[in-house]
């Protein structure tokens, strides 16, 4: 609730790129703080990120397949190491991309 209005106020330009950027950041903040993220939820930030050429969401869409490992076998079993691996790859790529170009500028 604090991050999105702060970034909107900070980047209060009225161009199309800013609209895409704020939509992307808003949805990513929501997903990264959500308790449940199904792989198809990634489609919305994927749309925004492709328009702005941010590739970490594309990487996330590939590693989100790891979440289906929880359904292996007769019983549903959460494999936390798979979830940790998925988010480690996402955050690693995101940090690399933010360092190589300004994401929030």
Residue that wins the pLDDT comparison between 68 and 14: 68
Q: Residue 89: phi, psi to the nearest 5?
A: -65, -45
What pLDDT is recorded for position 89?
Answer: 92
What is the Cα 8 distance to its own chain's centre? 18
Quote the CA–CA distance of 10 and 100 in Å, as a whole number. 22
Confidence of residue 92 (pLDDT cuts 50, 70, 90): very high
Mean pLDDT of 4-13: 65
Q: Residues 11-67: pLDDT tens digits? A: 666 555 577 777 788 888 888 888 888 888 888 888 888 887 888 889 988 888 887
Would you say residue 88 has pLDDT above 90? Answer: yes
CB 84 within 8 A of CB 50: no
Q: Identify whether the C-beta of residue 94 lies closer than 8 Å to the C-beta of residue 66.
A: no
Element (H, E) at 99: helix 80-100
If you search the block for the tokens 């590693």, which residue do you land on? Answer: 63
The structural domains of the chain, with segments of one domain joined by +, span 3-100
């Amino acid at each position: 609730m604090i991050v999105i209005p702060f970034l909107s106020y900070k980047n209060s330009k009225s161009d199309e790129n800013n609209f895409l950027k704020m939509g992307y950041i808003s949805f990513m903040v929501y997903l990264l703080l959500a308790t449940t993220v199904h792989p198809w939820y990634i489609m919305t930030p994927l749309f925004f990120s492709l328009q702005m050429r941010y590739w970490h969401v594309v990487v996330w869409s590939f590693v989100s397949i790891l979440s289906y490992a929880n359904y292996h076998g007769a019983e549903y079993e959460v494999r936390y190491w798979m979830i940790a691996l998925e988010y480690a790859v996402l955050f690693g790529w995101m940090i690399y991309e933010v360092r190589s170009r300004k994401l929030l500028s």
